[in-house]
Chain A
Amino acid sequence: MLTRSAGGFGAVALAGLFGEVPGAIAAPIPGATTLPHHPARARSVIFLYMDGGPAQMDTFDPKPRLIKEHGNPFPMTIEATQFDNNGLTLQSPWSFSRHGECGHPVSALFPHVATCADELCVVRSMTSKFSEHTNANYFLHTGLGLAGRPSMGAWASYGLGSESRDLPGFVVLNGGLTPPGGLDCFSNGFLPATHQGSVIKPDNQGMAHVRPLERDVALQEQKLSLVGQLDALQSPDAQGALESAIANQEMAFRMQWAVPELMGIDGESKATRQLYGLDADYEPTKIFGRQCLLARRLVERGVRFVELTCPAVSGDRWDQHNNLKDGHENNARAVDQPIAGLLKDLRSRGLLDETLVVWAAEFGRTPFAQGSDGRDHNPFGYTIWMAGGGIRGGMTYGATDEFGYKAVENPLEIHDLHATMLHLMGLDHTRLNVTVGGRDMRLTDVHGHVVHDLIT
């Protein structure tokens, strides 16, 4: 059974669930007796969620045609936009140059990430189905454009458990911005609550409810000792639900120490701290640097899926409906050095080969202006990149048209991204399902194809 083979946290937490009445789960994985389904290429995923939607033509998908047509009426048919305030063709305010042996073009927004060009597999043909942040966020995270379904991290945790004895399988490092759609983006949906994304704040607050309120640890220990004694008196041979409730209490007790230990980055070398930008002048860079460093520490400890949300910069998330230049520059400044630091640190520690890093947003932006100096939402073709765990670094996949508006070559859906991520983790997206409301539900619904071209 899944739980028995998962090992560690997942096994303990899930063991208690079987035979009870989880709303969704009677027989979790029909036909599967062991997980993973096939050997994994990636042990963990770090998902760098670029809230709001960076513009593809301003980051990793240069479009010279935009320079030529700048200021002209946009020549293609314009689909409905979120703000319905469509302006003229808008060139990128940033120049591009080629980097690495592969020669990836990267815009001036990402000087640090550019130094890792050969690690990146740049997908220029991602598409979404929604022009609204919230629907697109639910879609990116859960495969459906409405709230209520399990997040991709919850599926990974459900399928594989956590290798950590005292940390959950799905952790969200909240840099300050919660995606539109709220914490439901990290929901366990109909999966057991254990798989919900546990939010960790990169400042010293850590995770909710892990800090004992007692003034001294002895007070809490003595309490739990009494609880154990009383439980044993009433149920000397606790089985099933009671047994796992007791196990959970023990794990909860350990989590109180594991989380502060995780957060204690003082032991990291000065060089490491600098690598991540913890000494940067810009406060959001320091915050995201701390998130990236914690992400490495989480995957080192066996956490299955780590998602990072962006810090608040002056202005807005990557959602530049106006003032594209300042807004994108601030957002890029916050994440560029930390991301490069993360990739290099994982590489130097030998972790990158078993850690899949994904950089993605819910959609991209329009090649024509919103008003005069912004860009509106564009789900018809945009760029994401992946690196590490089984991914072919240095390659480019797919293409948008010459304006960067719509994917025209090898267009991919979010479902394909999900299928590929699960595949790299050793999971077959068509077999990782549960029966809910009369249907087999899975992250990719009835869609999704593993994109083998991206995989080494």
Chain B
Amino acid sequence: MIPAVILASILAPAAPTQAELAADVRGLLAAKCFACHGPDAESRKAGLRLDTEDGQRRAGRNGPAVTPGLPASSLLLQRITHSDPDTRMPPEAPPLADDDIQLLTTWIEAGAAWPTHWAWNPIENPTMPGVTRTDWPRDPLDAFVLGRLESANLEPAQDADPLPWLRRVHFDLIGLPPSPDTLDTFMAEWAIDPDAARVKIVDELLSSPHFGEHWGRHWLDLARYAETCGHEFDYPIPHAWRYRNWVIRAFNEDVPYDRFVVEQVAGDLVPDPRINPDTGLDDSIPGTGFWHLSQGTHAPVDVRLDEADRIANQLDVFGKTFTALTLSCARCHDHKFDPIPASDYYALNGYLQSSRRRNAYLDPGNRIEAGLADIESDRRTLAQALTQDIDVPLEARDDDPGLVESFEGPIPGWFIDGQAFTDPIPAGSPYLEDDELRLAASGLLHSGVRSPRAQGTVRSHSFPITGDWLHHRVKGRSSRIRVIIDGFMLNEYNALLFEDCLKNIDNESWHHVAQRVGKYRGHTAWIEYSDDGDGWIAIDEVRFSDSAEEPDWSHGDDLDTPAHDADRLRSGLETIQAAEADLPTPVRVLAMADGTPEDEYVFIRGDHDNPGPLAPRSAPGLLNAPITTPESGSGRLELAEALLVDSNPLTARVMANRIWHHLMGRGIVETVDDFGAMGRPPTHPLLLDHLATRFRSDWSVKNLVRAIVLSRTYAMSSEADPAALEIDPGNTLLHHAPMKRLTAESIRDAILVSAGSLDPAVGGPPVATHLTPYMTGRGRPGSSGPLDGDGRRSIYLEVRRNFLSPMLQAFDMPLPMETTGRRSVSNVPAQALILMNDPFVQDQSRRWADRVLAEADPIRSMYRSAFGRDPLPTEREAALAFIEQQAATHRDLGDEHPEQAGWADLGHALFNTKEFIYLR
């Protein structure tokens, strides 16, 4: 890309503005100088700081680095142009290019203005620029584009022809080609009223359920969406696909973007959760799956480092996705380019330290809770009708350092999840366990007292490991105990180094379970008791000791059950069990929950073994968003809200820019995930703020998409005026529409559409990965999924980190490791090899032939579905001659259906044309 300043000097006699100069200088200094002369005090050399005006102008030993108006006396220029390589800056690097030196000279001559970095400024609502061609703009945004073109003496390209526009808008909005029927309707309506025809199509596409699939896929690139953990064995991330479907639904329903953000950060904490009208399920909680889609190492030798790495990825994704800030650059030191101190990074760490991963139990239509309310009361009433509470004197132990919990009363600080757990049963109370009457000898936590059918998990507060062994006095069926150390959960699949952390409980008498945890003494842990089926678990006491031996518990077994009326028990239970049979099963979703509030320390140089000062939870100062942290709870909801306050300009700008990027092929800020000093300055800053202002007025993604695709700018032809190309070859000023290649998913989906094989179903679990002999490695699934992915859209194909689809990868589906707001658009032989030789493509070609041969004009049908237009006479002739030639060859080879094979070959050839995968 040409820097704005140079472009401006080519295009217009007027000098670049101070702001444009400063933006380019900032980018240059960031790249070349900030590593030693930037915001990070620790690595700063010679006390010189070039990222602030004060630093630039402050006199050092040899004078100030920058003297406005006087390039020759500015040390900065003297040092970068010095003839002695040992003195010249930057050290041990090639000298700066002449253009760069010229840029700095011009900037200093012009006064070395150093306004705030553009991205940190508040969003202004700019006035629409005056334009000469007043008939051109169709939407206010067009005026901002035209204004820049006119000031550079450039003309916008002609309007695109209607059919290329139709194909473009289909792929851009729903990722699928227009249907042949749509072509006719649209052309007829366009002939009458082009504007109305366009509006009608756009509104249809925006209300299509496929809109959410296409735009949801864009979002999944940000969330590094995958369904396995990668690494050595590629263990699963259960329920990840529920997040994928949540994203699709959110785009389809046009959930306001501010809400969409809040639900991903803290959907579990919103006071007014959305309810899915179809399923009756909480539709805010699944958004928090966003946090948990990262890679995972089994058996980490340093579990604290593993946690720090996991959180670093979570914060990297969080920062880039919502604010285009590279927060994780501040993990080891203050950010080198942007004003993000390491203490801001560790302040964010605390939100994740105070939160926990879980598979939540969603209750369809609240039917489980409603049913359980009666069942629980019936069980309690029945138990109490059969016997009476007795008074159990409890011995209080004065000094009991090993005790974690004995459940003698309510358990503040513990976290109940799902429907099974409730307050502990007090000592001396009768209770029903399955169909037996029991009498508690001491306080118990019991997941079966509401109903054995109920499911749930209870989590302890976080505590430091203070003994070699953790002991539980429990009984249960089909349930389990887990100790989670430093948030590490992958021992679910591979117990190495965490052998004792997970214990299955299948013994309905009170017994002792010991977990050896001494290796992790001093680490932070919590305990989970889970009942994920029709069983139950009861816990009487938890304590530490330094020995494996059964500790001296405070209490004995259940008291003897008093004599009672067995018939009454049986008949009472019959009614209860009939009601229990009707209880629905909870739907499990990958989600976040609050844990024990905890602030993190700044890790000196990123080393978790070297904690510095405490960094209380807060939003990065750069967001300019005051925040309060609640006494209890993680504070994630407040963090989410900080992303959306008016004084924080980033959230709205970043998303408006992403939408523009997807529709126009390049963001106004090209580096869509980095708005910092190392990112690119906006090509159209006023347009960006105009769009951000509109976006923030209603936070409607669909409204902004609609405005852009109905604009004159979007409707330009991709044919560039050669004269304009001469002046602005990179199309920075948008004098024509870009020619775009289809995304990997759209290429595969369009093949399915042409062949008539697409299953248009929306949502559902993933389709198993199709495995080729070249997809090797540990964790390879035992069997392959279908070659054609059951005809489902590509977004529904399973995403296994270690077994990614070769076809989608070749066409630049990103590796799901980090946030990728801007995909590569590569152009490599592997793409041609796949379109030529992949069995999927050839198989679909045959199906396509079978489909069209039943139609009156097969060639026309093929052209209309593949390219959204009718064939030219020359194309028709070429196709017919080709079919004849192929059929003859097939016949010579003894093929029984040479004609049909010839038609399949035509389909295959059409899939291989450039027109199939490019949008004009």
State in angstroms the CA–CA spacing of A82 and B306 once bound together.
14
Is residue B828 within 8 Å, beta carbon to beta carbon, of the partner chain?
yes
A221 → B minimal CB distance (Å): 10
Decide if A229 touches B878 in the complex (CB within 8 Å): yes
Residues on A with C-beta less than 8 A from B908 are: 223
CA distance A51 to B412 in the complex (A): 51
Residue of A nearest to B883 (CB): A226
CA gap between A431 and B177 in the complex, in Å: 44
Q: Knowing A81-B301, A208-B774, A241-B918, say if A182 contacts B828 (CB, 8 Å).
A: no
Question: Interface range on chain B: under 10, 10 to 19, 20 to 34, or 35 or more?
Answer: 35 or more
Q: What CA separation (Å) do A215 and B913 show in the bound complex? A: 21
- Are B914 and A437 neighbours in the complex by a CB distance under 8 Å? no
Q: Does A271 contact B (CB under 8 A)?
A: no
User: Which B-chain residue is minimally distant from A238 (CB atoms)?
Assistant: B914
Asked if A182 contacts B803 (CB within 8 A), the reply is: yes
Q: Please state if B875 and A230 are interface contacts (CB–CB under 8 Å).
A: yes
Contact with B along A353-374 (1 / 0, CB 8 A): 0000000000000000000000
Q: Contact between A17 and B826 (Cβ–Cβ < 8 Å)?
A: yes
Query: Which residues of chain B come closer than 8 Å to A246, judged between CB atoms?
Result: 914
B547 in contact (CB, < 8 A): no
Q: B769 interface residue, CB < 8 Å from A?
A: no
The interface bits of chain A over 169-210 (1 if a CB of B lies within 8 angstroms of the residue's CB, else 0) are 000001000111111100101101110101101000101111
Contact of A22 with B826 in the complex, beta carbons under 8 Å: yes
Q: Contact: B1 with A212, CB < 8 Å?
A: no
The answer to the question of B377 belonging to the interface, with a C-beta cut-off of 8 Å to chain A, is: no
Residues in chain B near residue A192, CB distance under 8 A: 824, 826, 828
Which residues of B sit under 8 angstroms from A147, Cβ to Cβ? 230-231, 295, 801, 815, 817
Stretch at the interface among B10-18, B597-605, B706-714, B805-813: B805-813
A412 to B748, CA, bound (A): 47
Q: Give the distance in Å from the alpha carbon of A431 to the alpha carbon of B739 in the complex.
A: 32
Q: Are B825 and A21 in contact (CB under 8 A)?
A: yes
Quote the shortest CB–CB distance from B110 to chain A (angstroms): 25
Q: Are B801 and A184 in contact, CB atoms less than 8 angstroms apart?
A: yes
Q: Pick the interface stretch among B425-433, B458-466, B830-838.
A: B830-838
Rounded to whole angstroms, the CA-CA distance of A231 and B801 in the bound complex is: 36
**Selected contact of B878 from candidates A187, A216, A230, A248, CB within 8 Å:** A230
Partner of A19, one of B338, B730, B815, B838: B730
Asked, given contacts A182-B234, A245-B832, whether A223 binds B827 with beta carbons under 8 Å apart, the answer is no
Q: Tell me the smallest distance from the CB of B674 to a CB of chain A, in Å.
A: 4
Write the chain B residue with the least CB distance to A24: B824
B contact patch SS: loop
**Cβ B833 vs Cβ A224 within 8 A:** no
Contacts A17-B826, A82-B301 hold; do A252 and B914 have CB atoms under 8 A apart? no
Tell me if A233 is interfacial: C-beta within 8 Å of chain B: yes
| Structural contact, B777 and A439, CB atoms closer than 8 A | no
Contact A222 B833 (CB under 8 A): no
Closest-by-CB residue of A relative to B915 is A234
* A84-B497, A223-B905 known; A20+B31 contact, CB < 8 A: no
Question: Residues of B contacting A241 with CB < 8 Å?
Answer: 739, 741, 825, 827, 918
Instruction: Give, as a whole number of angstroms, the nearest-CB distance from B237 to chain A.
Output: 14
A13 x B829 contact (CB < 8 A): yes
Interface centre among A24, A211, A230, A251 (most CB of B within 10 A): A230
Residues of chain B in range 674-724 having any CB-CB distance to chain A below 8 Å = 674, 676-680
Q: Are A84 and B827 in contact (CB under 8 A)?
A: no
Instruction: Give the complex CA separation of A231 and B833 in angstroms.
Output: 17
Contact of B886 among A182, A211, A222 (CB under 8 A): A222
B893 CB within 8 Å of chain A: yes
Residue among A134, A174, A205, A234 making CB contact with B913, cutoff 8 Å: A234
With A21-B666, A178-B778, A201-B774 in contact, is A208–B832 under 8 Å at CB?
no
**Is B809 touching A193 in the complex (CB atoms < 8 A)?**
yes
Closest CB in chain A relative to B667 CB, distance in Å: 10
Chain B residues near A249: list those with CB within 8 A: 829, 832, 836, 912
Flag if B882 contacts A222 (CB, 8 Å).
yes
Question: Does chain A have a CB within 8 A of B633?
Answer: no
CB distance from B10 to the nearest CB of A (A): 17
Q: Are A193 and B678 in contact (CB under 8 A)?
A: no
Q: In the assembled complex, how far is the CB of residue A252 from the closest CB belonging to chain B, in whole angstroms?
A: 4
Is A75's CB within 8 Å of the partner chain B?
Answer: no
Question: A438, B772: Cβ atoms under 8 Å?
Answer: no
Q: Is the CB of B828 within 8 A of A248?
A: yes
Is A440 part of the binding interface, using a Cβ–Cβ cutoff of 8 Å?
Answer: yes
Instruction: Return chain A residues, CB-CB under 8 Å to B301.
Output: 80-82, 130-132
Q: How far is the CB of A28 from chain B (nearest CB, A)?
A: 13
Q: Taking each of B234, B778, B812, B872, which has the highest tally of chain A beta carbons within 10 Å of its own beta carbon?
A: B778
The answer for the CA separation of A133 and B496 in the assembled complex, in Å, is 13
Residues in A with CB closer than 8 Å to B329 are 438-439
- Beyond A84-B497, A148-B817, A213-B842, whether A22 also contacts B230 by CB under 8 A is no
Q: Mark A29-40, 1 if CB is under 8 A from B, else 0.
A: 011100000000
Q: List 21 A-B contacts (CB under 8 A).
A: A21-B666, A22-B825, A26-B1, A82-B301, A146-B295, A148-B815, A178-B777, A182-B234, A182-B777, A192-B826, A201-B774, A208-B774, A209-B838, A216-B893, A224-B836, A230-B910, A234-B914, A246-B914, A437-B673, A438-B671, A438-B678
Apart from A132-B301, A182-B801, A213-B842, what are 5 other A-B pairs with CB-CB below 8 Å?
A83-B497, A210-B833, A245-B831, A248-B831, A431-B94
A-B pairs with the 7 shortest C-beta distances? A148-B817, A182-B802, A178-B777, A252-B832, A438-B678, A180-B232, A182-B777
